[in-house]
Amino acid sequence: MAPSTGTVHPVRYLALFGVLVVALYALVFFTGDKSATPKLGIDLQGGTRVTLTARTPDGSAPSQDSLKQAQEIIETRVNGLGVSGSEVVIDGDNLVITVPGDDSAQARSLGQTARLYIRPVTGSIPVSTRDANRTATTPPATDVPTTEVPATGAETPAPAPQNRPFPAQEPPTAEATPPVEVAPISGVTPTPAPETSSDGTDAGDAAAAEITAARALRQSTDPAVQEQAVANLDCSVPDPLRGNDDPALPLVACSQDGSTIYLLGPAIIDGQEIADASSVFNSQQSRHEISLSFKTTGSNTWAQFTSANIGKQAAFTLDSKVVSAPTIQGATPAGSATSITGSFTADSAKELANTLKYGSLPLSFAASEAETVSATLGLASLQAALIAGAVGLVLVLIYCLVYYRMLGVLIALSLVLSGIMVYAIMVLLGRYIGFTLDLAGMAGLIIGIGMTADSFVVFFERIKDEMREGRSFRSAVPRGWARARRTILSGNAVSFIAAAVLYVLAVGQVRGFAFTLGLTTILDVVVVFLVTWPLVNLASRSAFWSKPSVNGLGAVQEVARERKVAAASSAKETQA
């Protein structure tokens, strides 16, 4: 039995919907970058293309398997926070990343190698102190000993300098730290691959020679060569070793901000041992952090290292740079998460967590100059999509006005309010998760118009069924709603499941279609329950809206009267 109309409070439902709309537009106009327009995809607004050239230690061509693996990892990073509309394709020995808009920084960051290792710190010195000591103790230029590092990888020991850059330390036996103080990663400057070397060798041979020379100097096990590397390392220039350091050897590395030089022992944990990474906000410390958890092997190693090396330092190295060198303050139990903290913003914390979570690339890449690409479909296609949506909406409204008379006005109002909510959500999704609206996504929104109209038709037809049974418009509305809402929920559930499956299994622009289709399905339920049903309920209590000439239900009432007369005649005949 449907509840009586006296127990329904339609104004409360309408007020709740109004609060939702006001809250959405408050977020639109008073948070973020204040942009009140959705972000468009590559096919509608164009974008920025960055070509990533693979750099292998021996200068050989990368394998197709490693390129495909890198492509999959970058695509996963692209979609780590939602549908962004970016494209990642293999072009020969290169990866080509295209992102919507004219900001090349996003495309470059997607190709960040992100080879993470945890290494013991065996020594460190601020660059300013190193330079001051070197200036004070350097003899005249003609007497400065030099060390040649041949490109073949052979190491030539250098004479020990008169002033050691830092005292030698006994390498720790394990590794490092519950609270991890980390400088935020604002983007790693890529090392451009040289076109040709000075002696005419090709770019691959030159890059390989550069990497080999850097390894021979900065990853030597000879203390004298290590000191020479510390004395000559320039942290202000792009790192030729970026992402190609050997984890089994020591490493002389700069800090992420270039202020400190570290001497590090061989790595004890590989970044592949990271199980999960997420950005969190520590309300007690009022700062953004990254929660880092390891797989079983890495977690056990981390627990052993922290328990055995309290008071010592460990370094988190990302692409041959130290992003954190914390002092171990206590043992971290196996299975527990580690917090990476520092002066992070919400965006930089998300960026680093996303990079660590989705894994290291199997290759090191150098980014070429970014270039702007034009829209593949452009403004004409956008206009065509908007016209198609407008035509579809008008046809639905005309049908509803002809068939349901003034009740069609309630449908029109519901659709307009639904569109207002959809627009605000599109803006907010573009602002906070990088969602871009492409042509396929617009198709999903247009289909959503028809799905919402289906829910209205189901509701109104249930009302007509009740009136054919002889009930008035006022009594038929709550009873019809009680029957229609089950059908509406079932139909939308099927549509949402289909959209979710399509989103999980599909790639590229098809995911944008599935995303908007699922979104409009949810909003259909919200609008029908919080707008359409309350409006029709209010209309059923109005003498004006109850008139058959207004609500278009006169024919149904006539059928009910004929059935009543026929039933009365049949009863009389039976009695006779």
* pLDDT score of 455: 86
* pLDDT score of 239: 84
* pLDDT score of 153: 33
Of 154-163, 343-352, 402-411, 486-495, the range with the highest mean pLDDT is 486-495
Residue 552 pLDDT exceeds 60: yes
What integer is the mean pLDDT of 162-185? 38
Question: Rounded distance, CA 232 to CA 226, Å?
Answer: 10
Domain spanning 5-39+376-568: CATH superfamily = Multidrug efflux transporter AcrB transmembrane domain (1.20.1640.10)
And the tokens for 235? 């942290």
Of 42-51, 294-303, 313-322, 538-547, the range with the highest mean pLDDT is 294-303
pLDDT band at 170 (very low <50, low <70, confident <90, very high): very low
Beta-sheet strand order (sheet of 287-294): 179-181, 338-341, 287-294, 274-282
- Sequence-separated (6 or more) residues with CB below 8 Å from residue 399: 408
Query: What is the β-pairing status of strands 179-181 and 338-341?
Result: parallel
* pLDDT score of 154: 33
Residue listed under structure tokens 């939602």: 82
Chain center to CA of 173? 38
Q: Torsion-angle region of residue 335: left (phi > 0), alpha (psi -120 to 50) or beta?
A: left
Residue 482 pLDDT exceeds 50: yes
* pLDDT score of 464: 85
Residue type, 32: G
Residue listed under structure tokens 């949810």: 522
* pLDDT score of 267: 93
**H helix or E strand, kind and range, residue 203:** helix 203-218
Residue 493 pLDDT exceeds 90: yes
Of 37-41, 138-142, 200-204, 224-228, the range with the highest mean pLDDT is 224-228
* pLDDT score of 151: 31
Q: Which long-range contacts (CB under 8 A, 24 or more apart) does 21-24 make?
A: 21/417, 21/420, 21/421, 21/424, 24/421, 24/424, 24/425, 24/428
Angle at 197 between CA 219 and CA 57, to 5 degrees: 35
The secondary structure of residue 185, as a DSSP letter, is -
CA distances from 178 to 175, 226, 315, 339 (A): 11, 30, 13, 6
Q: Determine which of 124-138, 395-409, 486-500, 562-576 has the lowest per-residue pLDDT on average.
A: 562-576
Q: Which residues of 483-500 are buried (b: 16+ CB within 10 A; e: fewer)?
A: bbbeebeebbeebbeebe
- Is residue 298 a contact partner of residue 274, using CB atoms and an 8 Å limit? yes
Is residue 292 helix, strand or coil?
strand
Task: Look at the domain 47-106 and name its fold.
Answer: Alpha-Beta Plaits (3.30.70)
Question: Rounded distance, CA 288 to CA 292, Å?
Answer: 13
pLDDT band at 546 (very low <50, low <70, confident <90, very high): confident
What integer is the mean pLDDT of 91-110? 71
* pLDDT score of 547: 81
And the tokens for 218? 């900065």
Q: Decide which of 118 and 179 is more confident.
A: 118
* pLDDT score of 18: 93
* pLDDT score of 80: 53
Q: What CA dihedral angle connects 358, 360, 361 and 363, to 10 degrees?
A: 180
- Is residue 412 a contact partner of residue 400, using CB atoms and an 8 Å limit? yes
Question: Rounded distance, CA 506 to CA 519, Å?
Answer: 16
Residue 134 pLDDT exceeds 50: yes
* pLDDT score of 122: 92
What integer is the mean pLDDT of 432-449? 82
Of 318, 343, 311, 325, the C-alpha closest to 259 is 325
Question: Rounded distance, CA 461 to CA 157, Å?
Answer: 90
* pLDDT score of 534: 92
And the tokens for 527? 């609008």
Question: Rounded distance, CA 125 to CA 282, Å?
Answer: 31
Question: Rounded distance, CA 233 to CA 439, Å?
Answer: 50
* pLDDT score of 254: 93
Of 21-35, 213-227, 281-295, the range with the highest mean pLDDT is 213-227
What integer is the mean pLDDT of 294-311? 89
Is residue 456 helix, strand or coil?
helix
Residue 369 pLDDT exceeds 80: no
Question: Rounded distance, CA 231 to CA 517, Å?
Answer: 60
Residue type, 78: V
pLDDT band at 17 (very low <50, low <70, confident <90, very high): very high
pLDDT band at 368 (very low <50, low <70, confident <90, very high): low
pLDDT band at 84 (very low <50, low <70, confident <90, very high): low
Is residue 287 helix, strand or coil?
strand
Question: Rounded distance, CA 79 to CA 434, Å?
Answer: 9
Residue type, 102: D
- Sequence-separated (6 or more) residues with CB below 8 Å from residue 23: none
Name the percent of the chain lying above pLDDT 70. Answer: 76
Domain-wise residue ranges, the chain: 5-39+376-568, 47-106, 115-137+168-187+200-360
Q: What are phi and psi of 292, to 5 degrees?
A: -120, 125
Query: What DSSP line would sit under 76-116, residue for residue?
Result: HHHTTTS----EEEEETTEEEEEEESS-HHHHHHHT----E
Residue listed under structure tokens 């009022």: 286
Quote the mean pLDDT of the chain. 76
Of 499, 492, 478, 484, the C-alpha closest to 524 is 492
Q: Decide which of 140 and 431 is more confident.
A: 431
**H helix or E strand, kind and range, residue 340:** strand 338-341
Question: Rounded distance, CA 224 to CA 226, Å?
Answer: 5
Of 73, 116, 62, the C-alpha closest to 97 is 73
pLDDT band at 64 (very low <50, low <70, confident <90, very high): confident
* pLDDT score of 113: 59
Residue 233 pLDDT exceeds 50: yes
Q: Determine which of 91-100, 331-340, 554-563 has the lowest per-residue pLDDT on average.
A: 554-563
What integer is the mean pLDDT of 355-365? 70
Q: Decide which of 449 and 107 is more confident.
A: 449
Residue 175 pLDDT exceeds 60: no
Domain spanning 115-137+168-187+200-360: which CATH class is it, in words? alpha beta
Residue 315 pLDDT exceeds 60: yes
Q: Decide which of 505 and 352 is more confident.
A: 505
Burial class (CB in 10 A: 0-12, 13-18, 19+), 155: middle
* pLDDT score of 488: 92
Q: Decide which of 567 and 9 is more confident.
A: 9
